[in-house]
Structure 1
Amino acid sequence: MASFDQLKAIIQLFRLDLSLAAGICVIVGEIVALGHIPQVYEAILGFGVGFFISTSVLILNDYFDLETDKINAPNRPLPSGLIQTHTVILLSTVTVIIGLIFAGLISGIAFSVAMILWIIGFSYNWKLKRTGFLGNLLVSSSVAMTFIFGGLVIGNPWNIAVWIFSAIAFLIDLGEEIAADAMDMEGDKLINSQSIAIKTGRDNALKFSAILFAMVVVISLIPLIGGWLGFSYLLMISIMDVIIIISTVKFLKTSNSDEKRKFLRIIYLGATLGLIGFILGQIFV
């Protein structure tokens, strides 16, 4: 029987903040494409695909990053010895199967898209992370696809507002990926990573991330200017943009790596909180 510490490590492997965010993004994509709350089964199936496919990929990240995590994150479940590699492989396999079952219940196209997204995630963890910016682009594109997948679930993936949400998610994740690489330079050198930080310098990479976060704030105003979305969207971007602006300023000012990681996490969680506010606004306003 697993100990309490091992159960905590398994939960840590799931990275629930990121997995839950992926599922929420799919539901938001459904809401934006429909203009109202989707049917319960559409929300459950869409969330399930986003959550479990994301979880599987994130678990694999720990498997493939074991050597670099010994330097960059020695307290993670694998390098700390709390979890064995066979457990990680089993958990990743189970979660991807569940995610694909959910996708298959939606449609054949949804199953194919989910499978492609998982393959991209696997390829990134296995080899493409070393490519630096190309790897960053692939991961961010996969995150952005969660909103478009939400549109696909309800049969309207080409909705322009859905693509605006997708662009916001793309830029936030790309900024976070580049900044994270900048703070993981020492470990990434072991795998000959070609990250922007290694090629151009840590400070340049961090400044580039800040520019991407600033672009998010600008792009987030487009649906309001176009009149495509109303009060619930205003609520969302008010929360998200304020958190992004304050956290980005503090992120640039501090020289402490742990503080920088904290502000990156706040930006990510702020965006997730904004999305939850959007959903609640659609339900209650």
Structure 2
Amino acid sequence: MTQQKSRSSATTTLRALAMMIRPVNCLMMGFAVVVGEVAILGGIPTPNQLVLGFSVSFLLTASSMIHNDVIDLEIDRINAPQRPLPSGMVSRERALIASAFFGITGILAALPLSWIAALIAILTFASSYAYNTKGKRLGIVGNVMVAFCIAMPFLFGGIVVLSTINVTVAAFFLLAFLSNIGREVTKGIADVEGDRTKGIMTVAVSSGEKKASRLAAAFYILPVMITPLPYLLGNLGMLYLVIVAAVDAGFIYSSLSILRSQTKGAALSVKRQVRYWMLLAMVAFLLGGIAK
């Protein structure tokens, strides 16, 4: 009986951690490194570069996601009581151990790539923890911090393969950076009740949901002005342009959606949409890099 309880507890903990790392987010961040590698090479990187580059980003993202939930425990008791930590599926102590394990493993995975890659991994790890503990209380400054961490994998991909970046990778970095500032502002609209209770000064808390929606929409529109650059400069071909046109349409749609309604449901819907547009943008850059 004791063994059964122990196994059941371990299974529940693993299931909780699997939920907390947000597998889709981790996969997208790992995929972002691969996209950066392909875009700068114009071809397929070595298996070592592919596997290690992907793994570093995946593991560091997993670490940050769990740590974020630990820091947000009290807020989530209000905003999302069904999540693993507030619901009691996993203890705070076990979550912290798992976060540290993923973070250290991610940094170690960067060491065989280059010392620059390892340094970037360490800086990204530190930046994400700084955001989770202090940055999210800083309003738009915190939004910029988390957007920078999310966009870093594209630059990291360039560093992995050539220790440099090109215009295409820089354009994708800006696309991810700007759109994720908008996504974080939108998240603040959805979480305004809990954030106000905890004194977290998001744009929605300090200036109201309406003004926050306008700012979010602006950051969704800015990438639309950047996406043609890789094609116009001859770095990516027509296939990229066709796919990225759908991405642009998606960002415009999300901008109009958040301007039209600032309810929690509407904000959460737009937040999900932007993740899909980013995934489609990664496909555009990936196929554009291979087929140029």
Is 1:33–1:156's contact at 8 Å kept on the other side of the alignment? no
**Does structure 1 residue 29 correspond to structure 2 residue 36?**
yes
Tell me the distance in 2 between the aligned counterparts of 1:22 and 1:197.
Answer: 27
**1 CA distance for matches of 2:284 and 2:48?**
21
Q: How far has the Cα of 1:86 moved from its partner?
A: 1.5
- Structure 2 gap ranges (5+): 1-6
- Are the aligned partners of 1:72 and 1:184 in contact in 2 as well (CA < 8 Å)? yes
The one of 268, 280, 287 aligned to 1:273: 280
Per-residue deviation, 1:6: 4.6
Contact 1:178 1:195 in 2 (8 A): yes
Percent identity between the two aligned chains = 33
Q: Give the Cα–Cα distance (whole angstroms) in 2 for the partners of residues 219 and 277 of structure 1.
A: 14
User: Structure 1 pair 208/14, CA: closer, same or farther in 2 (3 Å)?
Assistant: same
Contact 1:235 1:278 in 2 (8 A): no
Q: Distance in 1 between matches of 2:46 and 2:198?
A: 46
> Which stretches in structure 1 are left out of the alignment for 5+ residues?
none
2:199 equivalent among 180, 185, 192:
192
Moved more, 270-279 or 69-78: 270-279
1:148-187 counterparts in 2 under 5 A? 148-187=155-194
Tell me the alpha carbon deviations over residues 182-205 of structure 1, each in whole angstroms, 9 at most, x when there is no partner. 221221123322222222111101
Find the counterpart in structure 2 of residue 227 from structure 1: 234
Helix, strand or coil: the match of 2:43?
coil
1:53 corresponds to: 60
Distance (whole Å) between structure 2 residues aligned to residue 230 and residue 278 of structure 1: 10
Give a deviation string over 1:127-162, Cα, whole Å, max 9, x none.
Answer: 221111111111111122111111000124231211
Q: Which residue of 1 aligns with 2:50?
A: 43
Q: Rg larger in 1 or in 2?
A: 2
1:90-143 deviation line (CA, Å, top 9, x unaligned): 211111122111111111111111011111111111122111111111111112
Q: Contact 1:37/1:282 (CA < 8 Å) preserved in 2?
A: no
1:87 aligned residue (94, 99, 118) = 94
Q: CA deviation at 1:281?
A: 5.6
Distance 2:24 2:242 in 1: 21
CA RMSD, Structure 1 to Structure 2 (Å): 1.9
Alignment match, 2:4: none
